[in-house]
């Protein structure tokens, strides 16, 4: 009689399981790896959100910088603006000009008939003549000689400061920042109000990635000369890099108001809009940037990012490809292309883009993780496992990575490895989904062991069934309306001979299925 009850309970559990399967319950569990060679059919693995898995984002360590050409243009524009403003409002007292040929320089320096002060004045006038004619080396030499004759000659001192700053700016335009820095420093020692010298030092420290000093010098320049508006753009860009978005927006808006046709300013304002989550505004601004200058790969990349945020992946792909065409080693653009193609379910293309990302820079953990996800979609589980393994070297705190890795290990029957990875994920998350999936792995691992002819291996199989049960009971304890946990628990209880409990668990799964 007891034997008949045992058979009836077992059959009841069996039919409930297959009712669930035939009723398409399993097809709604997001991703259900069939184990047709195992006892009683299939168990349920659950992905968060969906089996597709949202792609992890790559935060580049590289700052969005102005190019060298953009910095040199800024130097030229600032000096030009300073000189133009000086015509309207003199920065220093205009001295009497002495044409060099009318000044017997050696006589002026040595003549007993002239005082040193008088000679200094004449030399200052000759130095100014050379300054006005942009002959800075000669101007600097004569200003120095004038100061040697009269160290209190303020006209010569201020003139030398301007000449040094102009010479330094010329060196900066020729990409000689080290030589320029010494001259800018000397210019400021002679005249602490030399705004061009401060802005020049701002450019130098910007090129050295010392944003703090760069901003400090630019702000000093602007504080000394509020009309030096060419400083707006570099300041706005530097604040963008520092992620001080309000200040960045303020300066860039001022810069745009003065010059709407500057592609680099439009680009950095687009970057600010991205950081503000104003994706449509970012798109429009970045389109304007690419119209003004179609050769900036960064603008095309950022436009692609804005389009992704607007769920316009097809257009984003085109922008990422254009960025790559302009700059074939552009890691960020290759990564963006991989993510956009993945979202379009173009997994082969996604794999190609992520593979190139990793070829160019092999230490981006999220690129390996995303590549693994793409391989998983194509059911290339061994390749996926290889990429998850690399990703885990760089990513230590992502439970989903370990969960997906555990799934792929299970798909190639490496159940003990799957259990290990799912436990690692559980240590980071420990929610009802993690326990459900851990139960899935223990259950499937037990099926392999229970087929063994070795008593100790069979014993391991029984132990794993008990571990599966414990994990699944934790899952339903955490969330008592989670159907996948109940179906896995019911299957496990059935294999343990707990037929009545199995029936109850599976009935609960059916109830939840009907409510969903």
What secondary structure, in 3-state letters, does 135-151 show?
CHHHHHHHHHHHHHHCC
Per DSSP, the three-state class of 31 is strand
Is residue 260 very low, low, confident or very high in pLDDT (cuts 50, 70, 90)?
Answer: very high
pLDDT value, residue 68: 66
Q: Distance (Å, rounded) from C-alpha 72 to C-alpha 86? A: 21
What fold is seen in the domain 90-191? 1.25.40
Q: Distance (Å, rounded) from C-alpha 469 to C-alpha 377? A: 29
Q: Distance (Å, rounded) from C-alpha 328 to C-alpha 167? A: 37
Rg (CA), the chain: 36
Q: CATH 1.25.40.10 occupies which residues in the chain? A: 2-50+402-515, 90-191
Sign of the Cα pseudo-torsion (38, 40, 41, 42, in order): negative
> Average pLDDT in the 320-326 region?
98
User: pLDDT tens, 157-198?
Assistant: 999 999 999 999 889 888 899 999 999 999 999 999 999 899
Q: Are 400 and 53 in contact (CB under 8 A)?
A: yes
Is residue 89 very low, low, confident or very high in pLDDT (cuts 50, 70, 90)?
Answer: very low
Q: Distance (Å, rounded) from C-alpha 327 to C-alpha 333? A: 9
User: pLDDT tens, 33-60?
Assistant: 433 333 334 578 998 766 565 566 655 5
For the chain, give the percent of residues with pLDDT over 90.
Answer: 68
Neighbours of 312 (CB within 10 A): 16
Residue 233, token pair as written in the block: 């753009």
Q: Distance (Å, rounded) from C-alpha 291 to C-alpha 266? A: 10
Q: Are 341 and 353 in contact (CB under 8 A)?
A: yes
Of 319 and 118, the structure prediction assigns the larger pLDDT to 319
Q: Distance (Å, rounded) from C-alpha 246 to C-alpha 239? A: 9
Backbone angles phi, psi at 31, to 5 degrees: -160, 115
User: Of the candidates 82, 72, 74, which has an alpha carbon nearest to the alpha carbon of residue 177?
Assistant: 72
pLDDT value, residue 39: 37
Q: Distance (Å, rounded) from C-alpha 157 to C-alpha 301? A: 49
Which CATH code fits 2-50+402-515?
A: 1.25.40.10
Predicted confidence (pLDDT) at residue 77 exceeds the cutoff of 80: no
């Amino acid at each position: 009689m007891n034997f008949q009850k045992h058979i009836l309970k077992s059959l009841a559990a069996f039919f409930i399981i297959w009712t669930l399967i035939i009723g398409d319950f399993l097809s709604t569990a997001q991703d259900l790896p069939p184990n047709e060679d195992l006892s009683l059919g299939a168990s349920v693995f659950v992905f968060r959100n969906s089996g597709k898995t949202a792609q992890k984002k790559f935060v580049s360590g590289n700052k969005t910088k102005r190019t060298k050409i953009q910095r040199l243009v800024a130097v030229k524009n600032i000096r030009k603006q300073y000189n133009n403003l000086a015509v309207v409002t003199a920065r220093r007292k205009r001295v009497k000009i002495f044409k060099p040929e009318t000044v017997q320089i050696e006589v002026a320096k040595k003549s007993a008939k002239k005082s040193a002060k008088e000679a200094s004045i004449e030399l200052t006038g000759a130095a100014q003549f050379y300054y006005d004619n942009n002959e800075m080396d000669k101007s600097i030499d004569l200003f120095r000689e004038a100061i040697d004759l009269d160290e209190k000659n303020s006209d010569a001192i201020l003139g030398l400061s301007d000449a040094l700053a102009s010479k330094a700016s010329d060196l900066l335009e020729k990409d000689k920042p080290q030589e320029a820095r010494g001259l800018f420093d000397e210019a400021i020692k002679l005249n602490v109000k030399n705004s061009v010298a401060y802005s020049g030092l701002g450019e130098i420290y910007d090129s050295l990635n010392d944003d703090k000093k760069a901003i400090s010098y630019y702000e000093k320049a602007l504080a000394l000369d509020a009309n030096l508006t060419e400083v707006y753009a570099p300041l706005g860009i530097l604040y963008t890099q520092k992620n001080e978005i309000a200040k960045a927006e303020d300066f860039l808006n001022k810069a745009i108001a003065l010059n709407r046709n500057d592609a680099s300013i439009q680009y950095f304002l687009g970057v600010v809009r991205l950081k503000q989550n104003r994706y449509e505004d970012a798109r429009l601004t970045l389109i304007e940037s690419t119209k003004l200058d179609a050769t900036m790969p960064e603008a095309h990349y950022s436009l692609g990012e804005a389009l992704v945020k607007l769920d316009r992946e097809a257009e984003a792909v085109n922008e990422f490809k254009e960025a790559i065409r302009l700059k074939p080693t552009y890691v960020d653009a290759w990564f963006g292309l991989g993510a956009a193609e993945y979202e379009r379910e173009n997994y082969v293309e996604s794999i190609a883009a992520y593979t190139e990302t990793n070829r160019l820079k092999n230490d981006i953990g999220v690129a390996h993780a995303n590549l693994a996800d793409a391989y998983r979609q194509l059911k290339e589980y061994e390749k996926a496992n290889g990429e998850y393994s690399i990703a885990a070297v760089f990513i230590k705190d992502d439970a989903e990575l370990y969960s997906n890795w555990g799934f792929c290990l299970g798909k190639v029957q490496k159940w003990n490895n799957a259990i290990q990875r799912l436990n690692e994920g559980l240590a980071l998350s420990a929610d009802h989904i993690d326990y459900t999936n851990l139960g899935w792995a223990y259950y499937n691992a037990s099926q392999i062991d229970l087929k063994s002819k070795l008593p100790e291996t069979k014993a391991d199989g029984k132990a794993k069934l008990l571990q599966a049960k414990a994990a699944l009971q934790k899952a339903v304890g955490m969330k008592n309306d989670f159907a996948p946990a109940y179906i896995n628990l019911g299957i496990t209880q059935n294999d343990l001979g707990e037929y009545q409990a199995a029936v109850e668990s599976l009935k609960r799964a059916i109830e939840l299925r009907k409510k969903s």
